[in-house]
Structure 1
């Protein structure tokens, strides 16, 4: 019984970790930065304690080398950082998020990981819809985050917690205060709930209900970024299922068609950008992203090799970030492209290492999804369904990284580390087995 109770505590804490990184803005809007900091501190300390007490079976030799190199370079950049104080904060946050990710990857079984992630996603979706409904029915006006004083100036629309327009059909921001973030959470929920349904780990009726809710929230966010990410996930799923039906030596057509699809899709995306933007309700400058990208690229070119120093979230109170990305009174704290952000902060060297970390993980996720290993990834779930999840989640993250920098911070970085570690462990397990 004590063992059962301890696993319940571990799973409950894991759900809190997933909830807090996916909906960090909920805590910040509710309790302010100091309250959020206290919650984050508890999570990081508890993660370290769990790693020590549970003593997971792990060898550092199996830790993804590219992730070690990226974290090492980010830490080493303190030596040449243009903004040492901000870099100290950024590096600390990067390591803190990594420690929470290691707790999830090393202390939970795959079945527990999937279960706790699904639970956190359900909480975010349910609370977001309840929050939007309460505001729309009773408050009937836009709501600002608590503990923030904007004075008497006009508050930009994007600073509101929610605009309260659920009954007008949205778009909605939910508890995460951003429709792109809520849309990505909804996309993840659709992926996870679909995998659970296919694996038979949830009842069919409840599974379909939550899957429908995830799709409903996804539609209400009207996020163009997430729409494109969903298309990429659908394409990855189709190619993975096709590859599964062919032996390893007969997959050349799959790879040729996939490569051609990427080229044709990229060319088509560029050629049809104006029509796609009009269809998705976006401005010709991608909601100001083109200006931000030009500014970031110009700044990165001044220190192209090693960058300006790691900072994670931009620090708007220091140069060169002060005034770097301001649009309609909104101060942006990211480059809205993870690859540009890495080039800016860690230079070409950091970009190469980051690409190695992402695409080596994608490589492992792909073969985990299409090849049945000698021992299944999941403990009790049907392998065919659960093994697709790392690939689909990572494809969604990569697609999002072209328009957002979330893969470098909070939930994006945590998920990347978790996927990198669990696929590396699975690879090592398969290689050891006769």
Structure 2
């Protein structure tokens, strides 16, 4: 009688599969691979195929979390800053003039957020770095191979991917990522991951060297003036971290303040001399396109300054005001070409401040961890965040898909080591809170 009253149990063998480290590692590779290859998958399978793949990953991640529920500390999983931003974006459906598109945009955003949280909870930072390196080696290699096929072997564009075959002229190329700026960002993130793999001795030196050469080739062949600035910022941040990590702990606070002051002064000088810098980089045409769009957006922001127009993520061109912006600028846009202005436009001042808090806390926490922790793997998060945030001045990549996924992974991992809430609930288990 007692046996009949017991609910059916999940077979131990299935539970063991979903809770195994190998399953989590494989699923992490799939999640990162899909996030970076969304343009490729949409080109091959369309939106239904991409959404179907996302649904499968969500189901597998949920099964894995359930199987591992006893080994995960569920108290305060997310940093508060992430929760506030996500909740405000979700609330924007109440005043959005395109509620259906807002619901779809929020669902897409939450899906990648859920997958990012899964990766951050079940994998260590070095495991995430290794998975990112494995995925980007494949995608960058595929990109170069397709560019060679298109530009040198066939001498024909691959239209459905947007590959023009410009590699014979040494670029610009875009590979499987849809634009040269996305390829540049992916190549930079790959380069950071490959260098961390090399310094942490996670891969063989020959493989690491070949991977770094591949990432460098990807950056150079984009011919993007944006990534001259981004690559310089990442290199300067890497040198600053190297200096900090070799400075005695009692002197680091003074060096941190000096670096902060230098960054503020440099930012001010760059803003004052932006016209000369744009001319030097020969980026006038790109900046003119952006400035025209930004001017029109600022005019529309004044109509809804506090709450914004409503979250959409990637812009839907068939609804107002996005269709109007395309009409005025005579160019079809999928974003504001500036992540911070994009957030301000879509979810207003409240959303902008919550997003600014999210990225600021993520960066400060990860920077402090990298400055004070001996393992070299801790430098990965702040350098990836530098690449994402500097790119955000010219692209909105950090708000969707791979950029959004990496931002949340870095934010959650940084919060695990630098959270004020860790002191509120002592536990013998590892705290995964923010």
- Structures share a fold, TM > 0.5? yes
Quote the offset at 1:294 in angstroms: 1.0
Quote the offset at 1:41 in angstroms: 2.3
Q: Does 1:88 align with 2:134?
A: no
Secondary structure at 1:364's aligned position in 2? helix
Is the contact made by 2:19 and 2:68 (CA closer than 8 Å) also made in structure 1? Answer: no
Which residue is equivalent to 2:59? 45
Q: 1:67-123: per-residue Cα shift (whole Å, max 9, x none)?
A: 011111111111111211111111111111111111111122223212111111111
Secondary structure at 1:288's aligned position in 2? helix
Which residue is equivalent to 2:36? 22
Is the contact made by 2:130 and 2:193 (CA closer than 8 Å) also made in structure 1? Answer: no
Cα distance in 1 for partners of 2:286, 2:115 equals 37
Cα distance in 2 for partners of 1:350, 1:396 equals 22
Which residue is equivalent to 1:64? 79
Cα distance in 2 for partners of 1:265, 1:316 equals 37
Cα distance in 2 for partners of 1:336, 1:109 equals 33
Is the contact made by 2:93 and 2:102 (CA closer than 8 Å) also made in structure 1? Answer: yes
Which residue is equivalent to 1:115? 130
Is the contact made by 1:102 and 1:417 (CA closer than 8 Å) also made in structure 2? Answer: yes
Cα distance in 2 for partners of 1:99, 1:4 equals 17
Is the contact made by 2:105 and 2:314 (CA closer than 8 Å) also made in structure 1? Answer: yes
Quote the offset at 1:46 in angstroms: 2.2
Q: Does 1:36 align with 2:50?
A: yes
Q: What is the correspondence of 1:221-232 to structure 2 with a 5 Å cutoff?
A: 221-232=222-233
Q: 1:305-348: per-residue Cα shift (whole Å, max 9, x none)?
A: 11111111111111111131358864101111111111111111
State which drifts further: 408-417 or 34-43: 34-43
Cα distance change of structure 1 residues 288 and 178 upon mapping to structure 2, 3 Å threshold: same
Cα distance change of structure 1 residues 355 and 269 upon mapping to structure 2, 3 Å threshold: same
Q: 1:246-284: per-residue Cα shift (whole Å, max 9, x none)?
A: 344423542343233323422432344344334433225
Q: What is the correspondence of 1:4-403 to structure 2 with a 5 Å cutoff?
A: 6-55=20-69, 56-145=71-160, 161-284=162-285, 286=287, 288-325=289-326, 330-372=331-373, 383-403=374-394
Q: Does 1:421 align with 2:422?
A: no
Cα distance change of structure 1 residues 17 and 285 upon mapping to structure 2, 3 Å threshold: closer
Which residue is equivalent to 1:375? none
Secondary structure at 1:52's aligned position in 2? helix
State which drifts further: 251-260 or 127-136: 251-260
Secondary structure at 2:33's aligned position in 1? helix
Cα distance change of structure 1 residues 433 and 86 upon mapping to structure 2, 3 Å threshold: closer
TM-score norm. by structure 1 comes to 0.88
Q: 1:101-157: per-residue Cα shift (whole Å, max 9, x none)?
A: 111111222232121111111111110011111111333132221xxxxxxxxxxxx
Quote the offset at 1:161 in angstroms: 1.1
Cα distance change of structure 1 residues 41 and 334 upon mapping to structure 2, 3 Å threshold: same
Cα distance in 2 for partners of 1:423, 1:48 equals 23
Is the contact made by 1:136 and 1:164 (CA closer than 8 Å) also made in structure 2? Answer: yes
Cα distance change of structure 1 residues 94 and 232 upon mapping to structure 2, 3 Å threshold: same
Is the contact made by 1:62 and 1:424 (CA closer than 8 Å) also made in structure 2? Answer: no
Is the contact made by 1:100 and 1:414 (CA closer than 8 Å) also made in structure 2? Answer: yes
Is the contact made by 1:64 and 1:424 (CA closer than 8 Å) also made in structure 2? Answer: yes
User: Is there any run of 5+ residues in structure 2 with no aligned partner, and where?
Assistant: 1-12, 429-434
Cα distance in 1 for partners of 2:168, 2:184 equals 18
Cα distance in 1 for partners of 2:63, 2:18 equals 19
State which drifts further: 272-281 or 293-302: 272-281
Q: 1:281-308: per-residue Cα shift (whole Å, max 9, x none)?
A: 3225615000111111211121111111
Cα distance in 1 for partners of 2:173, 2:285 equals 22
Which residue is equivalent to 1:378? none
Is the contact made by 1:369 and 1:388 (CA closer than 8 Å) also made in structure 2? Answer: yes
Cα distance in 2 for partners of 1:61, 1:5 equals 22
Q: How many residues align?
A: 410
Cα distance in 1 for partners of 2:329, 2:167 equals 24
Pairwise CA RMSD: 2.4
Secondary structure at 1:41's aligned position in 2? helix
Quote the offset at 1:408 in angstroms: 1.1
